[in-house]
Structures are given as C-alpha cells and as structure tokens.
C-alpha cells in the first residue's frame, strides 16, 4: 500500500513532534501537582504559566488570566452557554445558528426542553447568515449569542467580530466556537468585542483532551465544574499539565505557521479543488468560497453516496470525511448541508477534504488522480446515472417508494 494521505484535519490533526517532545517530561520527572508548594509542583506551575502565555499570544488576548484550560472544545462550549444562562437568570433566550457544531446544537436542544428560548439563525445556499435578521433578534431577553467562527464541514467563516460588536451594542454577551478557526486564521481578541471563545487542542496539532475557554476579563461567569481553586476556581480539577504544555507549544507553532497556512496550505487546497472539479462533472464546492478557511474544501459529487467514496478512497490510503452523516449512524445528510438547501442527491455525496501544513503537492496530485475514477465507478452503480451524465430529469426517472 502507498503511504497514507491524511486530509481529514478538521476531524483531528497529528500531534506535532515538537509538541510530543515538550510533553514527555510531564509524564515522568515533571509529575508534580501545580498547586503544591514544593519544588515538584513549582516547576509544573511555571510550565503552565508559560503555556498560558503562548495561548494568550495566539488568541491575541489582553491578559493571560483570560485563558481557562478545559478538557475539550465541547466542555468550553457547554461552560460558556450554561454560564451565560446562570449569570443572567432574567434572560432566557440564546441566539445561535443552524449550522453550529453538535457541541452547541445538542446542548441548545436540551436547554429548549428546559424552557430556554433558542433562536437559530438560518443560512443561505452558500452557508451565510443574514446580519439584518440577526440584528432584529437582539433584545434584552438574550442571555448569549453563540456563533461559530468557522464551520467544520464547509470552512465558511462567519463575521463574528462584527456580530460581537452588534451584540455588545445591545449589552448581550457574545461567545464563538472557534475550534476550527484557531490556528488557521489570525485572531486578535483584544481588539474585538468577543467575550468568550472555545478552542480545542487537537485541531491544531496539540493532543486530544485539552481545550481552552477564553473568558474576557469582567465577563459575568459561573463555573461548570466546581471544586478546587484551579484556573482561579473557574474550572476545578487538577490541571492536565502535559497537555497544557503541549497546547502551548502547538499555539506557538501555529503562530509561526499562520502565514504558511494562508499561503501554502491555501494554495494546496485550491489546487486540489481545481484539479478535482476539472475532471469530475456534476460536482461543486459547498459553502462560502470567498470567506472560507484556507485548508477546507467541501465538494459535492452528485448522484453518489459519500460512504462509498470514503471506502474507496480509504482503500488507496486516502483519508477524508463525508458530508453525509450516514457514517455516524444517522441517516439524514448533515444538518449543515440541509441548512444550505443542498439537494439530497448532492448532500449525500459530499466529501470534505481538510488539509494541514503537513500535506504536500505530491499528495494533492495523488488525490486529484484518485477521485475521478472512484466517482465514475460509483456512478456506474447509481440509478440516477447514465453513461457519462445523469439520466434525463433524474428526480423523475428514479422515484423510489419511500421505505
């Protein structure tokens, strides 16, 4: 088998070797508890402080005390939303969007059952929200606005800085799930009105199991986990020191590679997208191609289903992911594709390629060569497909009985 090609970096990334190296001592000689007075603890405490500073730098936070380490992006999201509701009990409305990650949407669905009003901004065909609609929803009943910085499936960027400004004018706290954006697009929180931001280590070449909640100074806050005084009592529980140190290094590397990400990685992504679309008909890019993460290309291949594409790619050592949720046990296409009104016959055939600075031009060219025959092979099996194009009026030619 050929060397594997990893193009699923929005799912998770490989730990950078420098990150792993920095972490290792914290599993052995640097095992102390940062809270301890003795020298074992003291050294760990210093390492955590250094890591906190590195995260602060990448996020452009004004103070390192605004960085709260958590266990993952989901915990940061839950903390932000539940805190806002708890700290503003007279406000029972949350504004979010229909295309958020399940870390936000599932929690909102649950809160809705508890009586919280959830307003979900819709998106257009390109995955963009309507700022006028957003503006009309801002009221004194709103406890929090939570909108993602970048969409995990399409890479579409929301104008969160502008949205935060608008929320601030109405006195509404603003949270952004920036799990996909941190490390891929420049962020300078101190020059924004964003009050809370979620970030996850494993999306930027740090390990899994470490996340960050940025909490702007003077934001009303209630902790999710109560207990010890770690993270100034804002997130109790002994610090995951090895992972925090690893995240610190990863943030520093991300900052160093920020330009690479937006030039080299972007060029690779564009090459991949162009190369595939030039060879495969009835295929198109999903999302807002103007305001988009530099590493992500979500491509819909009409009249075939994504899982088959992934299985055949996997056979050639190529890792990507599907826009259809069939791979995760549910049968409906992804909520993001549905929200954009992508037809079922295209939504089910959507593949997300998400690159990183470790990808090469040679890999991109191998993927460009691999994809067209795979799509052709599956289309040959498809009831919607004739020899070299869809059958005439496909939706009428094949109308399966609903089962």
Partner 1 sequence: MWDYSDKVREHFFNPRNSGPLTDANGIGDVGSIKCGDALRLMLKVNPESEIIEDAHFQTFGCGSAIASSSALTEMIKSKTLDQALQVSNQDIADYLDGLPPEKMHCSVMGREALHAAVANYRGEAWQDDHEEGDLVCKCFAIDAVMIEETIRGNHLKTMADVTNYTKAGGGCSACHEKIEDILIAVNGRLYSSDAPQKGKTAPVESPVKPKLTNYQRIRKIEETLEAIRPMLQRDHGDVTLVEVDGKKIYVALSGACQGCQMESATLGGIQQKLIEALGELLQVLPVGALATG
- Please give the residue ranges that form the binding site for partner 1 (CB under 8 A): 89-90, 113-115, 303-308, 310-312, 314-315, 324, 326-327, 329-333, 344-345, 348, 380-384, 398-403
CB of 380 to partner 1, least distance (A): 6
List 185's β-bridge partners, or say none: 182
Residue 348 CB contacts under 8 Å (≥ 6 apart), including other chains: 304, 305, 306, 323, 324, 326, 333
List 69's β-bridge partners, or say none: 212
Give the other-Cβ count within 10 Å of 205's Cβ: 28
Backbone angles phi, psi at 33, to 5 degrees: -90, 125
Q: Which is nearer to partner 1, 13 or 324 (CB)?
A: 324
Mapping DSSP onto H, E and C, the string for 21-79 reads: HHHHHHHCCCCCCCCCCCHHHHHHHHHHHHHHHHHHHHHCCCCHHHEEEECCHHHHHHH
CB of 110 to partner 1, least distance (A): 8
Backbone angles phi, psi at 330, to 5 degrees: -95, 155
CB of 128 to partner 1, least distance (A): 25
Q: Which is nearer to partner 1, 54 or 352 (CB)?
A: 352
CA atoms within 13 A on the CB side of 379: 24
CB of 292 to partner 1, least distance (A): 25
Q: Which is nearer to partner 1, 174 or 303 (CB)?
A: 303
CB of 105 to partner 1, least distance (A): 15
Query: Does residue 108 have an active-site annotation?
Result: no
Q: Which is nearer to partner 1, 154 or 382 (CB)?
A: 382
Going by C-alpha positions, the residue among 349, 333, 340, 351 that lies closest to residue 156 is: 340
Q: Which is nearer to partner 1, 2 or 387 (CB)?
A: 387
Catalytic residue numbers, as ranges: 326
């Amino acid at each position: 088998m050929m060397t594997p090609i990893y193009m699923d970096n929005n799912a998770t990334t490989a730990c950078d070797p420098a990150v792993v190296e920095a972490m290792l001592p914290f599993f052995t000689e640097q095992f102390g508890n940062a809270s301890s007075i003795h020298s074992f603890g003291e050294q760990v405490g210093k390492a955590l402080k250094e890591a906190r500073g590195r995260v602060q730098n990448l996020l452009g936070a004004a103070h390192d005390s605004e960085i709260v380490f958590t266990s993952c992006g989901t915990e940061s999201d839950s903390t932000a939303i539940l805190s806002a509701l708890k700290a503003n009990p007279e406000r029972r409305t949350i504004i979010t969007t229909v295309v958020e990650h399940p870390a936000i949407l599932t929690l909102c669905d649950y809160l809705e059952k508890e009586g919280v009003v959830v307003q979900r901004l819709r998106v257009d065909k390109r995955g963009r929200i309507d700022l006028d609609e957003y503006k009309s929803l801002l009221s004194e009943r709103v406890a929090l606005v939570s909108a993602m910085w970048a969409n995990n499936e399409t890479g579409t960027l929301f104008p969160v800085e502008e949205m935060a400004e608008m929320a601030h004018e109405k006195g509404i706290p603003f949270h952004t799930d920036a799990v996909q954006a941190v490390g891929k697009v420049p962020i300078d929180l101190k020059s924004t009105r964003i009050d809370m931001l979620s970030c996850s280590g494993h999306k930027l070449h740090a390990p899994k199991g470490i996340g960050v909640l940025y909490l702007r100074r003077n934001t009303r806050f209630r902790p999710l986990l109560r207990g010890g005084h770690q993270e100034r009592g804002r997130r109790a529980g002994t610090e995951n020191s090895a992972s925090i140190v690893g995240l610190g290094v990863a943030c520093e590397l991300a900052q160093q590679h920020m330009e690479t990400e937006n030039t080299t990685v972007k060029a690779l992504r564009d090459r991949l997208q162009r190369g595939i679309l030039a060879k495969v008909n009835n295929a198109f890019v999903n999302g807002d191609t103007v305001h988009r993460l530099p590493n992500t290309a979500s491509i819909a291949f009409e009249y075939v289903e994504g899982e088959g594409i992934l299985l055949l790619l996997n056979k050639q050592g190529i890792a990507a992911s599907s826009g259809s949720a069939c791979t995760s046990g549910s049968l409906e296409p992804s909520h993001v594709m549905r929200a954009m009104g992508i037809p079922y016959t295209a939504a089910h055939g959507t593949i997300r390629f998400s690159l990183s600075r470790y990808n090469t031009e040679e890999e991109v060219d191998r993927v460009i060569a691999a994809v067209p025959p795979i799509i052709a092979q599956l289309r040959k099996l498809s009831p919607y497909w004739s020899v070299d194009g869809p059958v005439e009026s496909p939706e009428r030619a094949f109308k399966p009985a609903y089962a």
